[in-house]
Chains A and B, each alone.
Chain A
Amino acid sequence: QSVLTQPPSVSAAPGQKVTISCSGSSSNIGNNYVSWYQHLPGTAPKLLIYDNNARPSGIPDRFSGSKSGTSATLGITGLQTGDEADYYCATWDSSLSAVVFGGGTKLTVL
């Protein structure tokens, strides 16, 4: 059971937009920055968003992040088949003194 709650799966057609939610509490998302990762099992995780809404160099602006209260959202526009992957939110949990990840959301581009 993850501290951060994500939907197990989302899907959308190529070219469309999708959002992935991440719900937490005041000890984690509510008072700390949120990051988002893209991951294909067996490969290196890829940082997409940090500090709630900042993109590392090389990440296209099709990817966006937002945070409100104890929830965060990853948005992906102009979906491509290459976006099919697992997506994870992460943040610091002040009560646990640990980094916590969401359970992951599998994106299918139909």
Chain B
Amino acid sequence: EVQLVESGGGSVQPGGSLRLSCAASGFTFSNTWMHWVRQAPGKGLVWVARIKGDGSSTNYVDSVKGRFTISRDNAKNTVYLQMNSLRAEDTAVYYCGRDLHIAAASPWGQGTLVTVSS
């Protein structure tokens, strides 16, 4: 069974940093693109970033470029989202997902909540 479990969320002050983790199991992790999306309170889903199976290629939504970094450790079957210079508008539930084909990902994890507030 494919499983994705996110962790690392929490409360942080504006300008602070957090690193989210997503532990994967049940599939060949190193061959698979992985995604992060987020949902701010009362808002819709927004794609955040993706990373290729070997880590050689990444893409980001414009609003996080230069602040967030997606990475992976294929030995640990884990993908990360390093979030720096956090802003109030980054407050959201963050989900990781396994890519099936470009914009299609399944399954997704249950999410981890990030709150940026002073």
Contact = CB atoms under 8 A, between A and B. Distances in A.
B103 A103 contact: no
Main secondary structure of the interface of A (DSSP, over half): strand
Interface residues of A, number: 31
Interface string A43-58: 1111100110000100
Q: How large is the interface on B (under 10, 10 to 19, 20 to 34, 35 or more residues)?
A: 20 to 34
Interface string A90-110: 111000111111111000000
Given A44-B111, A92-B103, A101 B97 contact: no
Contacts of A47: 100, 104-107
A101 B47 contact: yes
Given A96-B62, A102-B44, 10 more contacts: A32-B102, A34-B103, A35-B103, A41-B39, A47-B107, A56-B100, A86-B44, A98-B59, A98-B61, A99-B50
